[in-house]
Structure 1
Amino acid sequence: MSSESKLREEIARLSKSLFDRGFSVGSAGNISAAVEDGMLITPTNSCLGFLDPARISKLDGDGNHISGDKPSKEMFLHRAFYETRPQAGAVVHLHSTFATALSCVSDIDEDDCIPPITPYVVMRVGRVKLVPYFRPGDAGAGDLIRLLGGRYAAVLLANHGPVVSGRDIASAVYAAEELEETAKLLLLLRESPKRMLTRENVEELQTVFGAY
């Protein structure tokens, strides 16, 4: 089996895992992975729980659709991450419940909307930027991510949900899961006094674990 075929199988396996555990519903969400000559991305209107690896879309380096089913309309988001974060090997966009709920809250910090409440959100996700609302499939959202210059591994799309990059498909999926669970904690604790990690705590994590 070729490396691309293995990657297609891995996308389908991890996508099903996300779907089966409620991180994605219906045909919501899309996942991509970089390959040497472009990227693989889940097809438009496909369900993450029932992907056929052979039908996953493939785009060339210029974003042209070259094989598989029609690609997700959110391919602009994925391309923007690959173009600005050369270390990114995969991108996960979900409509997961708590992260999407947080993206609808009007008084969150736009420059740090997932604050460092646990060490693992620092280690796996890093600082998260809120990106202003664009309709799904609007290439303008990708332009806004490009303007961030690769400084963020993850963003929250206002009133839409998270987009998370990682060095490979497993890392991106795990980071998206960590972001969702952290958003859940933040909403559960919203009315309570919170003890965040200090700047020194965050810097230690960055030093010891190479966190974002």
Structure 2
Amino acid sequence: MTEAELRQEITRLARSLFERGYSVGSAGNISAAVADGYLMTPTNSSLGHLDPESLSKLDFEGKHVGGLPPSKELPLHLAFYATRPQCRAVVHLHSTYATALSCLPMDDEDDFLEPITPYLIMRVGRLKYLPYTMPGSPLTGEMIRGLKGRHAAVLLGNHGPVVSGPDIASAVYAAEELEESAKLQMLLRGQSPRHLSTRQIAELRARYGEP
């Protein structure tokens, strides 16, 4: 995909997320790698009303080199690119159910979503919970770097999900799967749902690998 095509794809997928309620107002941000750096949604922009030519352009060090200024959440995006060589796109949303889940206590902060469906295992993997930091804080990026690439997705406490992927479409699809899994978990709270077994999870990871 050329840079021009990627700009169009980011805009198309961002609009789709916005129109289906995965982000509201100017919430959420998306980035993707290009040959000489990264493209990112601008600060204080709506995912539903992006201009492909105005997307922020950054070099590999995160220096702003073109377009509008980038989202303040740039540090967390750069942290994924620095620690996961396979990462070529990052999606950060404030989607309702995942954000609601981020406000609740859970038993396992290293695997925050219960293994209810196979696609959670296949597309999201082990969701790591990270404690609250102020939006845009460099501390968020430092915590992600501290994971050393072990998680493709994290849930920021009282804030929302961040998902990485090998391309922009994969990252968006995984973010959608995370939100659907969070919705199922919220709907099933207190009902003792049937989980995938350890053997079933191992079979999925053996066949599809970790996201």
TM over 0.5: yes
CA distance in 1, matches of 2:132, 2:82: 21
Q: Which residue of 2 aligns with 1:207?
A: 206
Indicate yes or no: 2:166 matched with 1:167.
Answer: yes
Shift of 1:195: 1.2
Shift of 1:36: 1.7
CA distance in 1, matches of 2:94, 2:31: 15
Indicate yes or no: 2:22 matched with 1:61.
Answer: no
Q: Which residue of 2 aligns with 1:83?
A: 82
Deviation sequence 1:63-90 (CA, Å, 0-9, x none):
1000000100001010000000010110
Contact residue 102 and residue 157 of structure 2 kept, 8 A: yes
Indicate yes or no: 2:31 matched with 1:29.
Answer: no
RMSD (Å) for aligned C-alpha atoms: 1.0
Q: Which residue of 2 aligns with 1:112?
A: 111
Trace 1:1-212 onto structure 2 (pairs within 5 A). 3-212=2-211
Contact residue 164 and residue 171 of structure 2 kept, 8 A: yes
So what's the TM-score if we normalise by structure 1?
Answer: 0.97
- 3-state SS, counterpart of residue 196 of structure 1: coil
- 3-state SS, counterpart of residue 194 of structure 1: coil
Aligned structure 1 segments of 4 or more residues deviating by more than 6 angstroms = none
CA distance in 1, matches of 2:172, 2:159: 18
Contact residue 100 and residue 162 of structure 1 kept, 8 A: yes
Contact residue 115 and residue 127 of structure 1 kept, 8 A: no
- 3-state SS, counterpart of residue 144 of structure 2: helix
CA distance in 2, matches of 1:107, 1:13: 35
Shift of 1:211: 3.9
CA distance in 1, matches of 2:63, 2:186: 40
Contact residue 59 and residue 67 of structure 1 kept, 8 A: yes
- 3-state SS, counterpart of residue 184 of structure 2: helix
CA distance in 2, matches of 1:39, 1:86: 14
CA distance in 1, matches of 2:63, 2:106: 39
Letter of the structure 1 residue corresponding to residue 125 of structure 2 = G
CA distance in 2, matches of 1:59, 1:196: 42
Deviation sequence 1:117-167 (CA, Å, 0-9, x none):
100000000000001110000011000000000000000000000000011
CA distance in 2, matches of 1:108, 1:46: 35
Contact residue 106 and residue 112 of structure 2 kept, 8 A: no
CA distance in 1, matches of 2:171, 2:107: 24
Shift of 1:115: 2.1
Deviation sequence 1:4-43 (CA, Å, 0-9, x none):
0100000000000000000010000000001121111000
CA distance in 1, matches of 2:41, 2:207: 35
CA distance in 2, matches of 1:106, 1:115: 13
Letter of the structure 1 residue corresponding to residue 166 of structure 2 = R
Contact residue 93 and residue 163 of structure 1 kept, 8 A: yes
Shift of 1:111: 1.1
Letter of the structure 2 residue corresponding to residue 38 of structure 1 = G
Structure 1 stretches lacking a partner, 5+ long: none
So what's the TM-score if we normalise by structure 2?
Answer: 0.98
